[in-house]
């Protein structure tokens, strides 16, 4: 493949994937990104200009998509509205980008006969009970909880329908919670790290017993490239690194790194519909495509992530105040509708 379009390539995982493509392949990368509040041009700094073209455009815009996809060998689709809390406050951009945007891309790759990889989430499967060893597999029934996860579930269904009815060459992947450098400060881990850097108490939803299955973004990128190269058309691959931790555990690890007492945080109102537990069975990806995570110990990855945020304040500082202002407004909105 010599020309790969990466939608959402200025976001957290998309930019990680762009760096990975540039270091691991010879292809030319075209980033198609709307540069919403979630994008950060600085995440693409240092890339060789001759290898990467950045197009500022909306995946919901038919003409832009047609122009960018023409001549590409593959489209890897990361672009999305990605934050659950925002989707509870205002679902409309989620329906537009995650559903309509995916539909427009699918029509373009159908007409232009371009290979497609759809990046999705484990949240399409809903949640698992806290006290079992059960994991999501690619045959777990879809049961999404939030506006975000339901639009991602809908986008997965569109991709599957376009494979079956129109014969497009597509693969899908559903990954668990990513962490690492360059993640927006709205998300749990960077929000608490940057609060701690500022001497502000972290904010924990509910009792903190909800479990997420953490994977380093670089391991996600490595899996997506393996699927793009060797995945079977029409197949869904689950991506996860056996990184189950409850939120309280993650938070107390951060507090320890910052030398704060284990109870130095605020309990804040819980997220409505908050999923209890995610856990991924990635056997197919490991056995059929030979992928394995290279970021082993979560606590080491977390400590390295803390160091990155300490050393890269220029990257996150401009987004911090607006993000916390958005959280304050969302608390008021949720209060207003009596949740």
Residues that bind ligand NAD (CB under 6 A): 7-8, 10-14, 33-36, 38-39, 58-60, 78-82, 97, 101, 119, 121, 152, 175, 177-178, 184
Q: How many whole angstroms separate alpha carbon 64 and alpha carbon 67?
A: 5
Which stretch, 202-210, 217-225, 310-318, 330-338, contacts ligand DAU (CB under 6 A)? 202-210
Place of tokens 């003409």: 63
Which pair of tokens denotes residue 70? 């023409």
Cβ proximity to ligand DAU, 34 vs 115, nearer residue: 34
Closest distance between ligand NAD and the C-beta of residue 39, in Å? 3
Which H helix or E strand runs over 287?
A: helix 283-289
Q: How near is the Cβ of 113 to ligand DAU at its closest, in Å?
A: 29
Which is closer to ligand DAU, CB of 122 or CB of 218?
Answer: 122
Partner from ligand DAU, ligand NAD, none contacting 78, C-beta within 5 to 8 A by type: ligand NAD
* Choice among 148, 179, 237, 278 that is catalytic: 148
- Dist. CA 334–CA 154, nearest whole Å: 25
Whether 123 is a known active-site residue: answer yes
* Binding-residue total with ligand DAU (CB under 6 A): 19
Tell me how far apart the alpha carbons of residues 273 and 242 are, in angstroms, rounded to a whole number.
Answer: 24
> How many angstroms separate the CA atoms of 102 and 5, rounded?
14
DSSP tag of 99 = I
Establish whether 148 is a catalytic residue.
Answer: yes
103 is catalytic: no
In which residue are the tokens 């539909």 written? Answer: 103
Q: Which is nearer to ligand DAU, 39 or 69 (CB)?
A: 39
Considering only 15, 64, 86, 121, the residue that binds ligand DAU (CB under 6 A) is: 121
Q: Which of 92, 78, 94, 89 is nearest to 31 (CA)?
A: 78
Instruction: By CB under 6 A, tell whether 7 contacts ligand DAU.
Output: no
Among 81, 123, 219, 275, the one annotated catalytic:
123
Nearer to ligand DAU, 171 or 210 (CB): 210
- Which DSSP symbol is given to 153? H
Instruction: Check: CB of residue 138 under 8 Å from CB of residue 238.
Output: yes
Which residue in 80, 12, 27 sits closest to 225, CA to CA? 27
Which one of ligand NAD, ligand DAU, none interacts with residue 204, CB within 5 to 8 A by kind?
ligand DAU
Q: Select which of 33, 81, 85, 122 is catalytic.
A: 122
Distance CA 276, CA 189 (A): 17
Catalytic residues: 122-123, 148
């Amino acid at each position: 493949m010599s020309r790969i379009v990466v939608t959402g390539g200025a976001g957290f995982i998309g930019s990680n994937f762009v760096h990975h493509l540039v270091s691991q392949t010879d292809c030319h990368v075209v980033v198609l990104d709307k540069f919403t509040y979630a994008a950060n041009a600085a995440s693409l700094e240092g890339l060789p200009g001759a290898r990467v073209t950045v197009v500022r455009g909306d995946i919901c815009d038919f003409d832009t998509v047609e122009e960018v996809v023409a001549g590409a060998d593959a489209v890897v689709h990361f672009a999305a509205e990605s934050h659950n809390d925002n989707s509870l406050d205002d679902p409309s951009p989620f329906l537009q980008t995650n559903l309509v945007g995916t539909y427009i891309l699918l029509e373009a790759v159908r007409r232009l006969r371009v290979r497609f990889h759809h990046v999705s989430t484990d949240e399409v499967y809903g949640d698992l009970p806290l006290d079992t060893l059960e994991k999501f597999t690619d045959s777990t029934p879809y049961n999404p909880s939030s506006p975000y996860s339901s639009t991602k579930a809908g986008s997965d269904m569109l991709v599957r329908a376009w494979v079956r009815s129109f014969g497009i060459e597509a693969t899908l992947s559903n990954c668990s919670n990513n962490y690492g450098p360059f993640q927006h400060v709205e998300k749990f881990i960077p929000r608490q790290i940057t609060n701690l850097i500022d001497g502000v108490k972290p904010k924990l939803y509910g009792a903190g017993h909800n479990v997420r299955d953490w994977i380093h973004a670089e391991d996600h990128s490595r899996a997506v490239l393996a699927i793009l190269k060797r995945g079977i058309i029409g197949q869904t691959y689950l991506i996860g690194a056996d990184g189950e931790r409850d939120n309280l555990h993650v938070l107390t690890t951060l507090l320890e790194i910052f030398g704060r007492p284990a109870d130095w945080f605020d309990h804040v109102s819980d997220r409505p519909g908050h999923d209890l537990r995610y856990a991924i069975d990635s056997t197919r990806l490991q056995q059929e495509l030979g992928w394995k995570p290279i970021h082993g110990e979560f606590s080491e990855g977390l400590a390295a992530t803390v160091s990155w945020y300490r050393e890269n304040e220029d990257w996150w500082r401009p987004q911090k105040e607006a993000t916390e202002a958005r959280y304050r407004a969302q608390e008021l909105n949720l209060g207003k509708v009596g949740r």
